[in-house]
Chain A
């Protein structure tokens, strides 16, 4: 069976997202435990996401007055689908990719931009104020991180002289992009954190909005949304591991294990940031993004281009 057959594609991508989403949840709890210094039992931390998920499965789904029912159901599906497409174009080991397309980088930038549609739809569909304001805030921030995200992806493609993610991984055989393009990974992580609506960039579901887009969601629908958000973190981590950390390349261990380890490292960094960095102020972040992040991303492109010539 080829990796690109429909069954294998669904199994591989589904497995990566499911296991990855659980790792994100556990890593988040571990980071919280370390920050709070509570000494909670490790067993409880590891089993916590499964227990909370089981509770959500047993809890009845809520509704609001005249919601956009189809949109509400569709929103987490859109977000998961976008994360799945991003994972699908990344080689998970040597020669193991669902669809290592010639223009995979372009597709990743495109589907990451479309995550915004799913998040806004989630806020809009509830037909309630807090979710709607959460959706507004996410959209207001989106362009500010999507531009640096796309630019650093382009910069990473320049040394490879290809838009294929597989070619970008191979181009890091001698030197990982995290060293060759030191601006790339930090900018990508900021943008990825915003894309996932995680930690300091949790504009859509922030605590100051009493849950934001999730304020009217309960039960299995809430579980679906939480899985969707964590799927985006996984997709960001997988892409970061491939584009900046050499992907499956590494000594001794099999390629898939290197890829998994690098992905987990990125997940740990993102979840750790969530417990250390306070929620950003929307307007101030937009100013920083346009005045600092985007120019830095352009410098990254120009320098990478000059070196590639």
Chain B
């Protein structure tokens, strides 16, 4: 092995994670592995990491992403739950694992870079979508000079902009594995410059087909279980605090603060219920960051009606003080009062989750012996968790308001708004499936 190869084997491993069914919670830990760098796009990656079970709707985008990885490349499948084997056969060579650590990724990476392992071959045929020559009445490739489809490739059509000009409008599809967007979210966008002029939400790739294995595990499973079995309040509140802090970490990464995001994600893993002030201090430091405020202030403002219908921290960030914990005796005994913010924008949701994380750690510390009785509705980290099918209501409602919320936004603001809603498309699919099978 030459000097360059020896140096390269010690590099941080650039990994592109693609989240399948049940993979979201597991993938949260990826960014904390030493020597692993989670990248934003396929061209920057050496390893494609499929976390969880792929679905039929995810397979084609997954194969396309795989082929965008530059060689040498390899695919690792972090298998969670049942099924998916027949879909993963579409890849020529996959390293399977049931648990993931840096050593396994490093072993594959070193083999790949040193040449001991063959690079993955393409999974899809490399065929042009249309011929470049000889199409159209003059052999020019297609029809039209502005607009039309020369060479079978549609040109950007003109559309009016708010200044009264006619500007090109690019049609894009982003997702279901676009960096920083919720896994599975597909957006069809019409873009003028960096302004979103049209927005439509695509099909949910996690939708369960007959014969598919069950969905999950989900991040909110611990809250689901609390409906039917006695659960210590401390475990629920710690799970809530971790969820919110992990979300804060992902929001920081979106805003270019990767190292700060890593600090918060690491902090979430070692929460200490005996030291609630540490969480409060962390939250105070972040909400004092004026640059963060400037990035999120006034972005993605939800109407009070939408906020109320969605519930959860999103509603409370819009001054709608709905929280299932207020009706729970165990929480009342601890003197629980919901935190609220008034603005209803991305900054309010950021502050809301930070505030609720601090409150959750404090509640966990005060509630050591308290056990929540089963029966009543539970407040999950995204919203109320009640009867079957109720869990995905918050995400489903918020996904439905995305077109109205994002249209007219600049690209960066639109991404901020989407991330601030903390959607979970697997929860939506789970809710749909539960409704389907309900008698």
Given A33-B259, A208-B411, answer yes or no on A52-B12 (Cβ-Cβ < 8 Å).
yes
| Stretch with Cβ within 8 A of A (4 or more), from B41-49, B204-212, B367-375 | B41-49
B113 with A55: CB separation less than 8 A: yes
Among the listed B128, B260, B411, which residue makes an inter-chain contact with A275, where contact means beta carbons less than 8 Å apart?
Answer: B260
| Contact present for B410 and A207 (CB under 8 Å) | no
Chain A nearest CB, measured from B301 CB (Å): 14
- With both beta carbons as reference points, the residue of chain B lying nearest to A277 in the complex is identified as B291
What is the 8 Å Cβ interface bit string for chain B, positions 248-265, against chain A (1 contact, 0 not)? 000011111111101100
Binds B, one of A149-157, A163-171, A215-223: A215-223
> With contacts A62-B43, A207-B253, A207-B254 known, is A35 near B194, CB below 8 A?
no
Q: Which of B11, B256, B259 contacts A279 (CB 8 A)?
A: B256
In the bound complex, what is the Cα–Cα distance between A219 and B113 (angstroms)? 13
Q: Is the CB of A281 within 8 A of B410?
A: yes
B70 touches A218 (CB 8 A): yes
C-alpha gap A57/B7 in the complex (Å): 11
Do A210 and B178 touch (CB < 8 A)? yes
Partner of B194, one of A59, A137, A222: A137
> Is A101 among interface residues, defined by CB-CB distance under 8 A?
no
Q: How far is the CB of B117 from chain A (nearest CB, A)?
A: 13
Task: Enumerate chain B residues within 8 angstroms of A58, measured Cβ to Cβ.
Answer: 4-5, 8, 72, 113
In the bound assembly, the distance between CA atoms of A51 and B413 in angstroms comes to 35
Interface flag for A261 (CB, 8 Å) = no
B113 to chain A: which residues have CB within 8 Å? 55, 58
> B62 within 8 Å of A by Cβ?
no
Q: Are B44 and A37 in contact (CB under 8 A)?
A: no
Cβ of A31 within 8 Å of any chain B Cβ, yes or no, is: yes
Q: Are the CB atoms of B412 and A278 closer together than 8 Å?
A: no
Is B68's CB within 8 Å of the partner chain A?
Answer: yes
Count A interface residues, CB 8 Å.
Answer: 59
Given contacts A58-B4, A200-B256, A208-B412, contact A279 B295 (CB under 8 A): yes
Residue tally, chain B, CB below 8 Å to A: 53
Q: Mark A176-215, 1 if CB is under 8 A from B, else 0.
A: 0000000000000000000000011010001111110011
Complex alpha-carbon distance, A225 and B166, angstroms: 34
Which residues from A are CB-within-8-Å of B44? 211, 214, 218, 222
| Complex interface: chain A residues within 8 A of B7 (CB) | 47, 50-51, 53-55
Residues of B within 8 A of A11 (CB): none
Residues of A within 8 A of B299 (CB): 281
- Whose C-beta in chain A lies nearest to the C-beta of B299? A281
Mark out the residues of chain B between 319 and 369 whose CB falls within 8 Å of any chain A CB in the assembled complex: none
Residue of A nearest to B416 (CB): A208
Task: Tell me the complex Cα distance, A140–B194, Å.
Answer: 10
Contact of B263 among A35, A54, A284 (CB under 8 A): A35
Residues A279 and B255 in contact, CB atoms below 8 Å apart: yes
Q: Does B139 contact A (CB under 8 A)?
A: no
How would you classify the secondary structure of chain A's contact residues: helix, strand, loop or mixed? helix
- Separation in Å of the A56 CB from the closest CB of chain B? 8
Partner of A35, one of B5, B132, B259: B259
Are the C-beta atoms of B256 and A274 separated by less than 8 Å? yes
Contact of A19 with B by CB under 8 A: no
The interface centre, meaning the residue of B4, B170, B180, B191 with most chain A CB atoms within 10 A of its CB, is: B4
B260, A207: Cβ atoms closer than 8 Å: no
Q: Please indicate the chain A residues that have their CB under 8 angstroms from the CB of B258 in the complex.
A: 32, 207, 275
A40 within 8 A of B: yes
- With A54-B7, A208-B412 in contact, do A281 and B294 touch (Cβ < 8 Å)? yes
Q: Contact between A129 and B43 (Cβ–Cβ < 8 Å)?
A: no
Q: Which residue of A lies closest to B251 (CB)?
A: A278
Contact A210 B179 (CB under 8 A): yes
A34 to chain B, nearest CB (A): 8
A199 touches B256 (CB 8 A): yes
Q: Look across to chain A and name the residue whose beta carbon is closest to the beta carbon of B252.
A: A278
Cβ of B193 and Cβ of A51 under 8 Å apart? Answer: no
Q: Decide yes or no whether A173 CB sits under 8 A from chain B.
A: no
Residue of B nearest to A37 (CB): B263
* Identity of the chain B residue whose Cβ is nearest the Cβ of A208 in the assembled complex: B415
* A57: contacting residue among B8, B40, B71, B260, CB under 8 A: B8
**Residues B412 and A59 in contact, CB atoms below 8 Å apart:** no
Question: In the complex, A35 Cα to B260 Cα: how many Å?
Answer: 6
A-B contact pairs, 28 of them (CB 8 A): A36-B266, A37-B266, A44-B10, A55-B11, A55-B46, A60-B70, A62-B68, A62-B70, A65-B128, A66-B132, A140-B193, A199-B256, A206-B412, A207-B258, A208-B411, A209-B411, A210-B178, A210-B179, A210-B180, A214-B43, A214-B44, A217-B43, A274-B256, A275-B257, A278-B255, A278-B292, A278-B295, A282-B410
